[in-house]
Amino acid sequence: MNLRLILPAAASALLAASCTPYVEPPPEPPADPAQRKQLTPEEQEKINKQREEKRKREEELKAEGTNTQPDGETPKVEPTTPDGGGEKAPAPPKPANEKKEAPPVARPIPGKPGFVFSPFNNKPIDVKGFPPGSLVADPTYPASEKKHFRVP
Q: Where residue 27 falls among pLDDT bands split at 50, 70, 90?
A: confident
Domain extents in the chain: 103-152
CA dist 59 → 52, 55, 89, 128 (Å): 11, 6, 28, 55
pLDDT > 70: what percent of the chain?
71
Q: Where residue 71 falls among pLDDT bands split at 50, 70, 90?
A: low
* pTM greater than 0.85: no
Q: Which pLDDT value is given to residue 33?
A: 64
Q: Which pLDDT value is given to residue 79?
A: 52
pLDDT at 21 over 60: yes
Q: 75-122: per-residue pLDDT in tens? A: 555 555 555 555 555 555 555 555 678 889 999 999 999 999 999 999
Q: Which pLDDT value is given to residue 17?
A: 82
Label residues 133-147 b or e (16+ Cβ within 10 Å = b): eeebebeeeeeeeeb
Helix (H) or strand (E) holding 108: strand 107-108
